[in-house]
Amino acid sequence: MREDLIKLLRDLRKTISLYKEIDLIPPLSPETESFFKGETELEKAYLDSINNLDELRKYLNGCIKCKLHKNRKNIVFGEGNPNAELVFVGEAPGRKEDIEGRPFVGEAGRLFTRIIKAMGLERKDVYICNVVKCRPPRNRDPEPDEIKACFPFLEAQLRIISPKVICTLGRIAAQTLLGKDFKITKQRGNWYSYKDIPVMPTFHPAYLLRNPSEKKLVWEDMKKIMEKLGLNAGTNKNTQ
C-alpha cells in the first residue's frame, strides 16, 4: 500500500513538472512545491523501510527531485559489493559516468581504480558512489539544493551497506557528511565519524591528476584505512 502511494506521488510529481515546463498550470504554493519534491513524511518513511540496494535503485529510477534530471543521460546510482566494509563517496558523476551510468570510469576513475588495487582490493570488493547521482552541467560543483535533494539516497545507501569505514573523496563529499565548514586541505587524513562510522576524508582523484605530488598524501590516508580494516597490502604505492 505504501509503495503504491509513493508511486502515485512520483507520477503526480512528473506530471506537475511537465505541465509547469509548458506553462499549463500557474505557479504552485511553497507547501505544494514541497510536497511534490518528495519532502514528505511518507517518502521519508518509505526510504527508511528500504533494506536492499536493488530496491533503492529501483525507487530512484526516474527521479526528478532537482534540476539535474533535465540534462542527464543516466542516473549514476553506485556499484560494488552491497556488503562492503569500505565505501568510497565521491562528489558527482562526470561526462563518462553520465554516459555509462557507472561511477569513476573516466581518467580520474582509472587512477582511483589503481589506488584501490594498491590497497590489495578490487572495485568489486568495495562500494563506490557519489553525493549526487546526476551529472551537473559542465562538471560544475553540485549546488546546495541538489545535494539536499539527493542526500536521502546517499543516506539510505550508507545505512543499507553499513560499512566499517567510509572514505570521502574531495571537499564536497567531506562537507556533505562532516559539515559545511570542513576544510579538505587542512583536515584530510584524520579520522572523523558519520553516524558512528569512521570516516577518512582524502583528496579526489581528479585533484590528484592536477596535483600529482599529492598522491603520497592520499596513500598515507589509504594506509590508515587499511590498518583500520586489517588489510595488509605492504607498501605498494604503484598508482602512477
**% helix / strand / coil in the chain, to the nearest 5?**
50, 10, 35
DSSP H/E element including 23 = none
Q: CA 120, 131, 202 angle in degrees (round to 5)?
A: 45
- The CATH number covering residue 164 comes to 3.40.470.10
Predicted pLDDT at 140: 95
Predicted pLDDT at 37: 54
Residues belonging to the chain = 240
In a domain, 42, yes or no: no
The total of structural domains in the chain comes to: 1
What mean pLDDT do residues 3-23 have?
61
Domain with 189 in it: 73-229
- Is 70 exceeded by the pLDDT of residue 157? yes
**What number of other Cβ atoms are within 10 A of residue 190's Cβ?**
11
In a domain, 162, yes or no: yes
17 — pLDDT class (breaks 50, 70, 90)? low
In a domain, 51, yes or no: no
Predicted pLDDT at 218: 98
CA nearest 88: which of 58, 50, 115, 55? Answer: 115
How far, CA to CA in Å, does 185 sit from each of 25, 89, 139, 201, 206?
A: 47, 17, 21, 10, 15
- Cell numbers describing residue 114: 589503481
In a domain, 122, yes or no: yes
In a domain, 189, yes or no: yes
- Is 50 exceeded by the pLDDT of residue 235? no
**What number of other Cβ atoms are within 10 A of residue 1's Cβ?**
5
- CA 240/CA 237 separation, integer angstroms: 8
- Is 90 exceeded by the pLDDT of residue 40? no
In a domain, 31, yes or no: no
In a domain, 109, yes or no: yes
Query: Helices in the chain by DSSP H: which ranges?
Result: 2-21, 30-36, 41-49, 53-60, 95-100, 107-118, 144-161, 171-178, 184-187, 205-210, 215-229
In a domain, 177, yes or no: yes
End-to-end CA distance of the chain: 53
- CA 192/CA 188 separation, integer angstroms: 10
Predicted pLDDT at 211: 97
Express each pLDDT in 121-155 by its tens digit. 999 999 999 999 999 999 999 999 999 999 999 99
